């Protein structure tokens, strides 16, 4: 019999058993990938962005239970967020939203943060003129100083 001395929270197990936002998107606006060369796990993220907001997000992960659960959680956290808000989602936040991860599994949450950042970076490369922040209102520019 195989036993494990790693213990997981109920929430983490629920996201592993029933992951949210699994799959891929047709014509994504950004594609991200992150991998860990030590364990060999790989995470792919697809995002759709409209008006600077992540309107849809999907993942495909080849990896351990924690990698699946953190993929599921990071997609839940990023959906509906602006690009800037999504960039502030850290691996620590992902792990904490799952009720915590065993220390030896924290690196799995790093993949989730890296894959999200990679997808946003790809989005920005593909859409170089998209606003990083909401555009200023017309006519709000300061008048030029007279000399
Ligand atoms: S063991 Fe490598 S991502 Fe989980």
Q: What tens digit of pLDDT does each residue of 128-138 get?
A: 877 655 444 45
Report the separation in Å between the CA atom of 109 and the middle of ligand 1, taken as the mean of its atom positions.
Answer: 8
Specify the ligand 1 atom closest to the Cα of 40: 2
From the candidates 43, 108, 112, 119, give the one annotated as an active-site residue: 108
Answer yes or no: is 140 within a domain: no
Evaluate whether residue 133 is within a structural domain: no
**In a domain? residue 75:** yes
Looking at the structure of the chain, the number of domains it has is: 1
Instruction: For residues 37 and 52, give the distance between their C-alpha atoms in angstroms, rounded to a whole number.
Output: 32
Q: Judge whether 45 lies within some domain.
A: yes
Q: Let me know if residue 17 belongs to a domain.
A: no
Grade residue 147 by pLDDT with cuts at 50, 70 and 90.
Answer: very low
Residue range(s) defining the domain that contains residue 42: 22-126
Q: Indicate whether 36 belongs to any domain.
A: yes
Is the pLDDT score of 17 beyond 90? yes
- Please work out whether the CB of residue 63 comes within 6 Å of at least one atom of ligand 1: yes
How does pLDDT run across 31-87, given as a tens digit for each residue?
Answer: 999 999 999 999 999 999 999 999 999 999 999 999 999 999 999 999 999 999 999
Q: Which pair of tokens denotes residue 85?
A: 């808000």
**Which has more pLDDT, 131 or 119?**
119
Whether 120 is in a domain gets the answer: yes
Q: Residue 144 contacts by C-beta under 8 Å, 6 or more apart in sequence?
A: none
Cα–Cα distance for residue pair 66/95, rounded to 1 Å: 9
CATH code, 77: 3.90.1010.10
Residue 27, domain member (yes or no): yes
Report percent pLDDT > 90 for the chain: 81
Q: Would the CB of 115 count as within 6 Å of ligand 1? A: no
């Amino acid at each position: 019999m195989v036993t494990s001395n790693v213990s997981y929270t109920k929430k983490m197990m629920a996201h592993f058993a029933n992951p949210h936002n699994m799959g891929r998107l047709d014509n994504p606006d950004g594609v991200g990938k992150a991998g860990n060369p030590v364990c060999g796990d790989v995470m792919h993220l697809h995002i759709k962005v409209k008006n600077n907001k992540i309107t849809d997000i999907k993942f495909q992960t080849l990896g351990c239970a924690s990698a699946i659960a953190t993929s599921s959680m990071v997609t839940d956290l990023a959906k509906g967020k602006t690009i800037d808000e999504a960039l502030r989602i850290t691996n620590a936040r992902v792990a904490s939203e799952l009720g915590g991860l065993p220390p030896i599994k924290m690196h799995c949450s790093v993949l989730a943060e890296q894959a999200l950042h990679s997808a946003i970076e790809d989005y920005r490369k593909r859409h170089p003129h998209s606003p990083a922040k909401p555009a200023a209102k017309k006519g709000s520019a300061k008048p030029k100083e007279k000399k």
